[in-house]
Structure 1
Amino acid sequence: MRPHFVLSLALLIGAAGGLEAPPLRLGTRGSPLALAQAYMTRDLLMSQFPEELGAEGAIELCIMKTQGDMILDKALSEIGGKGLFTKELDVALLGDQVDICVHSMKDVPTWLPAKTVLPSMLEREDTRDVFISPKASSLSELPDGSVIGSASLRRQAQILAKNPTLECVNFRGNVQTRLRKLDEGVVDATLLAYAGLKRMDMEDEATQIIEWDEILPAVAQGAIGLQCRDDDERSLRYIDKLNHKATFDAVACERAFLAALDGNCKTPIAGQATIQDGQIFFRGLVAKPDGSEIYRVERTGPLADAVKIGNDAGEQVKADAGIEFFEWLQAQEPKLAVAQ
């Protein structure tokens, strides 16, 4: 039998249902939080498509280590920013090593590689930050001169705006590593995303849940996005079923704000959108890393204009702060001291 005839016969059998579909490959980082989010995605896919994806082995997790996971002694602002958590997953997706990438949306740059799309987001978790400390019951009660571990210039700027005597030091690694360092007394306190703690059933670790008026969360915080190749009809069909439209619209508004500001990890930017009665409510800010200047914006409008609202808010902040402010930010080398 000739090889091309064997191939044709195999294709005919497969089309008739005689061959099983290959496993659906989910690409994910290997941190405990990333794995929790990947398993959540897997379980949702299994429940939505029990006949196709419910069997053991129908979904395969492909775990990857990114540059952002490996370089922990420097702040993200020093080593290239958010793309460090997605580049390896992008390469695997374009190389057909995975079918779907599971992302924490606040780690995803506002641009996507050509031939990929991010059309689906799971229902968002609580977006607030939490304060964790064995020495104080709230951020405002920390004694002057206390040391806070955080890899986020956004958090640093808002913390120092409230109390410039506090010291922020680079504090990276997974949640468990940061909590261990806190227990060892490396720092006096830290701030983490409440969503991550909740997804790992660790919300009891929070000392205080911080409201938006005190610390405005990061753009897209608490949201999980699903990315695939733009011509992969099988994956597109699966992840479309998981899309939570309210989350998708709110995050689209926030990411439009970030894109308008050309935001990166050298620029302290925060932005959050909520949806109520067909209206979208947006709050955003941009600041100097030391908290000495903060520009805030609020916008409200119809949900259909979510992206426009985010973009307009970004343009307003740019006008309020002035071009010199952003030129100054980009010229800086913002560095956080390293927690030992």
Structure 2
Amino acid sequence: MAKKVIKIATRQSILAQVQARAVGDAIVKKHPDYEYELHFITTTGDKFMGDLSKVGGKVAFVKEVDEALLNGEAHIAAHSMKDVPTDMPEGLVIKAMLPRADIRDAIVCREGEDFANLKEGAIVGTSSVRRAAQLRYAFPHLEVKPVRGNVQTRLDKLRKREYDALVLAKAGLDRLDLEKRISDVLEPDMMCPAVSQGAIGVECRADDAEMVKIVESINDEPTWHCVNTERAYLDHLGGSCHTPIAGFVEITKGGNLRLIGLVASEDGKQILRTRHKMGYDEWEKLARTAADDLFDQGAEAIIAATHRH
């Protein structure tokens, strides 16, 4: 009997394809009566190489993928959860997350060069306002500039000496088998990660009972719990992809949740930090408490300033 085919909507970058295949492989392993194929989508974010804030921020990477689900071109979609807005489009739901990869950021330098030895004024490339703010705070002698394009495009710009170093998500480099290109790994106390960093989410239509059941079967509950706590924290803060907000949740040895978060000004001159621990089932209270702590320190003014830009 012919196997049922699940169409997975994905962007065309190599990294996006690797992530989509990870989702498809997880489904097929659990449900051998199914097979999958990738349905490629070119998003606004892929086509536009300027300032993403001009085209809606990170939603530019998911809007067309969401439309493909809603109009029936695909059954499910694979997303980097850090690109998924906290306010989901009506009719679509995230029903699973794969086991989380490394949450940390990594530095890539040219071969034979070292981040610690970069001279004053050296140019560091990043597409993230979160990374840029923390770099400016920790390394004020370096010049931080935006860089766009997929991982390979950015590595080419590094090779051509347009940049002296790049900061990228370690999870993406690992998934592309580029671990050997990593010059240094930034621990979370040095570079607090993006909310949801390292997590792959699986989206489907809320009314597609068959897909909802299949997708739910591959969910990694600890990742799901931590990432949804982080997303609730981000939602309480009311930040966007234009705001230097960071945060991650970890499960302690005692089974509690610990949230470590940060809000920064774009120039890196103001850094507000929060750290709270609560019971595993108190995730909503934890998210709200951490956000309120940052508001008490003055985060509202910082966030409002970034929204005005």
TM score, norm. by length of structure 2: 0.95
Residue 32 of structure 1 aligns with an amino acid whose one-letter code is I
Aligned with 1:254 (options 222, 230, 251):
230
Aligned with 2:14 (options 25, 28, 32):
32
Tell me, yes or no, if the aligned pair for 2:272 and 2:299 is still in contact at 8 Å: no
CA apart distance, 1:21: 6.6
Partner of 2:215: 239
RMSD: 1.5
Structure 1, unaligned stretches of length 5 or more? 1-18, 333-340
Residue 262 of structure 2 aligns with an amino acid whose one-letter code is L
Bigger shift: 304-313 or 268-277?
304-313
Partner of 2:74: 98
Partner of 1:284: 261
Aligned with 2:276 (options 294, 299, 307):
299
Residue 266 of structure 1 aligns with an amino acid whose one-letter code is H
Q: Which runs of structure 2 are paired with 1:64-83 in the superposition (5 Å)? A: 64-72=41-49, 74-83=50-59
Is residue 2:177 matched to residue 1:201?
Answer: yes
Bigger shift: 226-235 or 313-322?
313-322
Distance 2:239 2:24 in 1: 31
CA apart distance, 1:105: 0.3
Aligned with 2:195 (options 219, 227, 230):
219
Partner of 2:305: 328
Aligned with 2:240 (options 252, 261, 264):
264
Distance 1:222 1:43 in 2: 18
CA apart distance, 1:79: 3.1
Q: Which runs of structure 2 are paired with 1:52-201 in the superposition (5 Å)? A: 52-53=33-34, 58-72=35-49, 74-134=50-110, 136-138=113-115, 140-201=116-177
Distance 1:193 1:323 in 2: 27
The alignment partner of 1:227 has SS state of strand
Post-superposition CA distance 1:1-42 (Å, at most 9, x none) = xxxxxxxxxxxxxxxxxx857521111111110000111111
The alignment partner of 2:94 has SS state of strand
Tell me, yes or no, if the aligned pair for 1:172 and 1:178 is still in contact at 8 Å: yes
The share of aligned pairs that are identical, in percent, is 37
CA apart distance, 1:141: 3.6
Post-superposition CA distance 1:223-257 (Å, at most 9, x none) = 00001111111111111111000000110111111
CA apart distance, 1:46: 1.2
Distance 1:66 1:316 in 2: 37
The alignment partner of 2:140 has SS state of coil
Tell me, yes or no, if the aligned pair for 2:7 and 2:39 is still in contact at 8 Å: yes
Structure 2, unaligned stretches of length 5 or more? none
Distance 1:317 1:142 in 2: 33
CA apart distance, 1:213: 1.1
CA apart distance, 1:204: 0.9
Tell me, yes or no, if the aligned pair for 1:154 and 1:269 is still in contact at 8 Å: yes
Tell me, yes or no, if the aligned pair for 1:300 and 1:309 is still in contact at 8 Å: yes
Distance 1:84 1:68 in 2: 5
Structure showing greater Rg = 1
Distance 2:66 2:208 in 1: 15
Residue 269 of structure 2 aligns with an amino acid whose one-letter code is S
The alignment partner of 1:23 has SS state of strand
Distance 1:322 1:307 in 2: 19
Tell me, yes or no, if the aligned pair for 1:100 and 1:227 is still in contact at 8 Å: yes
Check 1:323–1:193 CA distance in 2 against 1; reply closer, same or farther (3 A cut): closer
Distance 1:148 1:304 in 2: 40
